[in-house]
Chain A
Amino acid sequence: MIITLIDIILLTFMGATAIAILRLRSLFAVVMLSGIYSLLAASMFVALDAVDVAFTEAAVGAGISTVLMMATLALTGERERPAAHTTWLPLAVVTVTGAALLYATFDMPPFGAADAPVNLHVAPRYLNDSFGEVGLPNVVTSVLASYRGYDTLGEVTVIFTAAVAVMILLGGRKGDDAGIKNEPPKEKLADNDGDGDTA
């Protein structure tokens, strides 16, 4: 009962935040509100007993993405330009898609149902045998690090790739102030554009 009440309150706040994000033109406020939205989502995950996910959402969504968005705002403008096109077509697409998704939820098993397909496949094995096989009280860690070790290696590689991509896009040029210094080039490149660097 109390959980239902908390869910309703959190979802109302999330809805209100989303609408405010849509209507505001000040991007500074939008960045702050998206941080609040992430924090509300993290609270929602706690209410759903998914503390590991809530942890990540709070740290990444509310913390680091907000900082990165602020850093981006410092480079761009702080106000969003009014939309040049009408909003009726996007609204219609979103409404139809949302209605279809809602319709699909009627066929889903109730939340937390013991006979839901997701709880009948490998979950019983993890819950019953993981303590004997891996010996960790936190089944999430057992699944993430041991049973699904390949997937986690892939995820780490994705993060590695993301960092490398950002380095390629934003850094690496000798002489700019991005903090990642290149090794000195083997042969002197021509300074074509005459601004003191060789880019």
Chain B
Amino acid sequence: MKHHRVLRIVSKLLIPFIMLFALYVQFHGDFGPGGGFQAGVILASAFILYGLIFGLENARKVAPPAVVTRLVAAGVLIYAATGYAGLLKGGNFLDYGVLGATPVAGQHLGILIIEFGVGTTVAASMITIFFLFAGRER
């Protein structure tokens, strides 16, 4: 892809906006359409676009596989830990109502955290799968 100047410049312009949009979908999912699943996929697509245009080696420098594979597990752990935090505070597993001062504030906080966990796992999984598929040689 070294010679496709238009693709390189356009994707350089687009990638920051794709990432910003992913963050918007992630943290605005409580109010508009979206959430962790969609945001994770959008964020991963920014990295995948970078990998397609600038090569797998450069993409691995931006998102080191050792870090990304650990993030796959970290997201699930964040989610489950939020559930156990509810247990420790005297509620049920995944009952966010006890996490905040009022039940509604707790629900807000809990949903924000678990959506972040979802987004982390989804983005890291998609990037990992892309690295593995694209890294295969015939």
Interface residues of A (CB under 8 A from B): 51-52, 55-56, 59-60, 63-64, 67-68, 71-72, 74-75, 132-138, 140-142, 144-146, 149-150, 152-153, 155-157, 159-160, 162-164, 166-167, 170-171, 177-181
Contact = CB atoms under 8 A, between A and B. Distances in A.
Nearest to A63: B45
A52 B107 contact: no
A146 B135 contact: no
28 contacts: A51-B33, A52-B34, A55-B38, A56-B41, A63-B45, A64-B130, A68-B133, A133-B104, A137-B30, A141-B29, A144-B35, A149-B83, A152-B114, A153-B80, A156-B75, A156-B79, A156-B122, A160-B75, A163-B128, A166-B132, A167-B132, A170-B135, A171-B135, A177-B137, A178-B135, A179-B65, A180-B66, A180-B132
Contact of B115 (A74, A145, A150, A167): A145
B42 interface: yes
B134 A71 contact: yes
Interface in B81-130: 83, 94, 96, 103-104, 107-108, 110-111, 114-115, 117-118, 121-122, 124-126, 128-130
A180 B70 CA distance: 11
Given A153-B83, A153-B94, A179-B60, A55 B33 contact: yes
A97 B23 CA distance: 43
Contacts of B128: 163, 166-167, 180
A52 to B, nearest CB: 5
Interface of A (DSSP majority class): helix
Contacts of B41: 56, 59-60, 63-64
Contacts of A140: 33, 35
A156 B107 contact: no
Interface string B26-70: 000111111101100110110010001000100010000110010
Contacts of B75: 156, 160
B117 A156 contact: yes
Contacts of A138: 29-33
Interface of B (DSSP majority class): helix
A159 B122 contact: yes
Nearest to A76: B138
Contacts of B108: 135-136
A84 B128 CA distance: 37
B129 A166 contact: yes
A181 B135 CA distance: 12
B5 interface: no
B31 A64 contact: no
A146 B96 contact: yes
Contact of A64 (B25, B29, B115, B126): B126
